[in-house]
Structure 1
């Protein structure tokens, strides 16, 4: 079924299916690569290249795909002292977190705000995106990331 979906479904839809199966341990990525040899499967193999073996969520996989496509230098699951592990560190200066519905619980909101504060105190900029942003408005999400990086490049963020 996964092989069929890779050939027939739009790229992101098949990516989500493969990521789910790999993440749950239902199938090995190498198994799929082995069944898709040659140049005629290049487009399909490119989808497999987007799978993140250790992903915390499908939002993370989709956001990573959009950031990579925008040509951004992306590091995933970066441990920042005093903050903990962040979903993305983009261009070594911008923390981007992708939050699902569990982040709406009051304790989680407070924890996330404290992590934002500690990130900023550590010299990082922070953006946070939710399901609707990543799934329905990825172009806007990427545009905001690019805009923040441009403002930083122009020196618009400064200490008082």
Structure 2
């Protein structure tokens, strides 16, 4: 199975499998010293630094992190796993305290996370997941951090108690972010739109099933459907046809459907938030009024 066809949990499991070894590890597994040399020569192993060997098919970011003298973490690690990351900035490397002889990086930008590990790292190439999540909260603005945590919870990589553990190790000023995490979000744009709706102060439900329409991302104030389309999941004319049929079915049931672009929700969220507010304030009163009139009409029969 290619990486493109793997689920996020599968990619995470692959990232957290044993990919890096010391020379002693390899000897314990039955390789001789000559066998190690031959494995490197034939491309089965990579000897990336003193006493660090990696399997051949390892992500280049993992290789560079280990070559430097640390472990991959934060946004770099989550990008490898397929977890949502808003804006990735360079390579993120976890370095345990007391590490020495770090090699100069070969990439233009590296962020070093020197925090004390929450647990003794069991793997030589990636940071513990709890630490990586903490690094991601520190490295991003709040709404992007919430989106990354939403993704981790949605894909079953962090439980509620583990999420509590993440925030227990963060400064108190960051802990209110914990209340905003919602694992129902299936994408980063959904998280961004949910936070917009919270800011606007309207009633909404997420992942709502509507008979004859199917499951929709949001129903706002009982009449507005918001679908968070993105290129990853909405490419192709066949998918567009399906979406248009769903929108028509929703309209027949009295709903208005809008589909903000993922690029706008992520990159121009202030404009999208303002547009959502305007739509709700402009159309909301007429929808509420028409539904009240319909209720009164039905009640008088």
Structure 2 counterpart of 1:111, from 242, 251, 263: 242
1:135 aligned partner:
266
Q: Could you tell me the TM-score, scaled by structure 1's length?
A: 0.84
Q: Does 1:82 align with 2:208?
A: no
Deviations 1:70-112 (A, max 9, x none): 2121110111111111100011110010011121311110000
Structure 2: which 5+ runs fail to align?
Answer: 1-131, 291-301
SS at match of 1:27: coil
Report deviation, 1:12. Answer: 2.1
Cα distance in 2 for residues equivalent to 1:151 and 1:12: 27
Matched pairs, number: 156
- TM-score (normalised: structure 2): 0.47
Hey, what's the Cα distance between the residues in 1 that align with 2:161 and 2:182?
13
RMSD of aligned alpha carbons: 2.3
Note the C-alpha offset of 1:24: 2.6
Alignment map for 1:28-107 (pairs within 5 Å): 28-37=159-168, 41=172, 43-101=173-231, 102-107=233-238
> Which of the pair is proportionally richer in helix?
1
- Off by >4 Å, runs of 4+ in structure 1: none
Name the residue aligned to 1:13.
Answer: 144
> What are the ranges of 5 or more consecutive residues in structure 1 without an aligned counterpart?
none
The structure whose Rg is larger is 2
Higher relative contact order (CA 8 A, sep 6+): 1
Give the Å deviation of 1:154.
4.5
